[in-house]
Structure 1
């Protein structure tokens, strides 16, 4: 095995005319992004109002199962340390995750399947229930049939602004691009534009740097249909992060979907600091601003098989932890976690990120990975 520093960003899919048009429009949109994008960064610190993460350790949990206590935590722990996130299975591949004392109406959720076999999980819906935040997750196998799976899930709701430097923002959009939830740590606002079937441009104003920097995560959300979403391209232009999201149906055709997208720079996926120990990377650009380790460790990726990648994150492996993965590129391929990440000393081993094509065969693909502890 060798350290992976750069590999292809997508393979042609000539059978999908909508996909081909989407790629062509994407290239035009990236070239057209210009200096009109801007945003000021107020100088008032903030943290997320509500946040939590959890890992489902069994695909068939008993009612009220407490999720893996080594891989869950949340903002509620500061005031209610005895409470834990729980899960109920409510159908084939369908789960109701309960984050206590986390109720909100302006948040986003991300979910990544954890399975050696081709599976994907998406958000079914989110809603407050009393003081709890519910995140319903639906998992599928190739072809779009519901199927049981393990997964890791994160939820965040934020308000306020941050000083220049670190950045955090998110959107939840409906299938025609209208914002349902939105947060921007620069106070500059976000915009989503529906550019075609399953094709969205996300502008996070005021969050960009002169160099491409930070990490993105995207997750499909749909209460009726199986969908997968990924980041097709991204750039930083005039102080704005531009992210282009592609969403697909089970056959790999581009299809409209609700989706959640989060951008974070020098902050973890849920936006809080502390924790002090977190890391993220973008597989095509190790060593640049998109490759960050809060303890100064050198993140690495090694090819461990066809479409399999071992990520090593030194010096940040402490206590309760979470990982999310999002595929990058213009094909219908998607990426999951093959097994739960492990801690060895203070090193985190993600063994492995595993990527599949629309038929369920393992296939090489680029990806975003983000990790955080709770300290």
Structure 2
């Protein structure tokens, strides 16, 4: 089956309510650096203030390994081109990624496992370290045991508002009872997270919606103690507000409370910067060809089923220089989606070979997904 862009957006289906439950708040180690941080890194242009992306090619890296230089970049490069993001392995499946000159207390992080075998990776913790930003990633195999894995990771912190236009950007980092830890809204209208039940959250991104269901979403679980997976169960645009419903699960596939990061971006890449980059693309598999399918260079994005739960994604005309990809599963089941292998460039075409989806037991299974890609130029 080969699908190409057309002209009609998809529609989501209503969800049932789930019994409400609370969970204790974590006092994360994000409160430490407040006064020093303001003067440590000069303020940059808004949206975003600081950002970076990187890819771990070797699941057992040596200490201080520079992450692959063709698949990393960041806002720090404008003033410090010689600096690179690095990684240290600090446990089984646990990695400390350091983005230079990116320190912030108000950001969001995303991570996607890259493995042919069933694996998932989540954010363990994020915090500033001097002028750098640390993102600790934890990866698991089915059943919830820690395991080594390749992965792609990004981090963004933004402030200010965008001038009126077709683009929009917003994110939240929420705690397990729906409280906001970090939040950004590019029209300044604010965001809200509500817990509707165990592992069930409504995210309201006020003022970022359009009359059509438009743009792209990414969601990533975060937890310092327990294995968790989060995905988008449903989303809609109503009255100018993006409503996104997040489901989070434990390793067995039961809904479970979790910290999570969610980012919405429209006609901007996942990390929020634009012009540069001028080469980026995103899609939502149930509605390929609608407003949720975007290619900044006018290329025709496509998806081809390449196996059970495997999808070859082709993004023409946007494959330049340093690049990144993130994937988030869509739907109400505990299934999740990763990258089977690192994405490849052939001329200016990007081949993601493949998005690969699994059920809670680790068997490949068909599933819808959001995918987002960007270069650095």
What is the TM-score with the length of structure 1 in the denominator? 0.90
Structure 1 residues 152-301: aligned runs within 5 Å: 152-164=152-164, 165-273=166-274, 274-301=276-303
Structure 2 CA distance for aligned equivalents of residues 4 and 316 of structure 1: 17
Structure 1 residues 92-171: aligned runs within 5 Å: 92-164=92-164, 165-171=166-172
SS at match of 1:48: coil
Structure 2 CA distance for aligned equivalents of residues 208 and 47 of structure 1: 17
Residues 1:84 and 2:84 aligned together: yes
Structure 2 CA distance for aligned equivalents of residues 76 and 4 of structure 1: 37
Q: Is the Cα–Cα contact under 8 Å of residues 65 and 88 in structure 1 kept in the other structure? A: yes
Structure 2 CA distance for aligned equivalents of residues 242 and 3 of structure 1: 27
Q: Deviation string for 1:141-186 (max 9, x for gaps)?
A: 0000000000000000000001222000000000000000000001
Match of 2:16 in 1: 24
Measured after TM superposition, the shift of residue 261 of structure 1 is 0.1
SS at match of 1:210: coil
Q: Deviation string for 1:165-223 (max 9, x for gaps)?
A: 20000000000000000000010000000000000000000000000000000000000
Q: Is the Cα–Cα contact under 8 Å of residues 4 and 300 in structure 2 kept in the other structure? A: no
Q: Is the Cα–Cα contact under 8 Å of residues 4 and 303 in structure 1 kept in the other structure? A: no
Q: Deviation string for 1:312-367 (max 9, x for gaps)?
A: 00000000000000000000000000000000000000000000000000000000
Structure 1 CA distance for aligned equivalents of residues 278 and 67 of structure 2: 23
What is the TM-score with the length of structure 2 in the denominator? 0.90
Structure 2 CA distance for aligned equivalents of residues 342 and 196 of structure 1: 40
The alignment of Structure 1 onto Structure 2 pairs a total of residues equal to 346
| Runs of at least 4 residues off by over 3 Å | none
Structure 1 CA distance for aligned equivalents of residues 57 and 111 of structure 2: 14
Q: Is the Cα–Cα contact under 8 Å of residues 330 and 368 in structure 2 kept in the other structure? A: yes
SS at match of 1:24: coil
Match of 1:29 in 2: none
Measured after TM superposition, the shift of residue 136 of structure 1 is 0.0
Structure 2 CA distance for aligned equivalents of residues 46 and 71 of structure 1: 24
Q: Is the Cα–Cα contact under 8 Å of residues 220 and 229 in structure 1 kept in the other structure? A: yes
Structure 1 CA distance for aligned equivalents of residues 248 and 143 of structure 2: 15
Q: Is the Cα–Cα contact under 8 Å of residues 293 and 299 in structure 1 kept in the other structure? A: yes
Structure 2 CA distance for aligned equivalents of residues 46 and 60 of structure 1: 36
Match of 1:341 in 2: 343
Match of 2:42 in 1: none
Structure 2 CA distance for aligned equivalents of residues 290 and 160 of structure 1: 25
Structure 1 CA distance for aligned equivalents of residues 145 and 121 of structure 2: 12
Match of 2:307 in 1: 305
Structure 2 CA distance for aligned equivalents of residues 69 and 297 of structure 1: 26
SS at match of 1:359: coil
Q: Is the Cα–Cα contact under 8 Å of residues 3 and 288 in structure 2 kept in the other structure? A: no
Q: Is the Cα–Cα contact under 8 Å of residues 2 and 302 in structure 2 kept in the other structure? A: no
Structure 2 CA distance for aligned equivalents of residues 94 and 130 of structure 1: 21
Measured after TM superposition, the shift of residue 23 of structure 1 is 4.1
Q: Is the Cα–Cα contact under 8 Å of residues 220 and 231 in structure 2 kept in the other structure? A: yes
After superposition, the CA RMSD in angstroms is 1.7
Measured after TM superposition, the shift of residue 47 of structure 1 is 2.5
Q: Is the Cα–Cα contact under 8 Å of residues 9 and 365 in structure 1 kept in the other structure? A: no
Q: Deviation string for 1:253-274 (max 9, x for gaps)?
A: 0000000000000000000012
Match of 1:3 in 2: 3
Measured after TM superposition, the shift of residue 46 of structure 1 is 3.7
Match of 1:314 in 2: 316
Structure 1 unpaired stretches of 5+: 11-21, 27-44
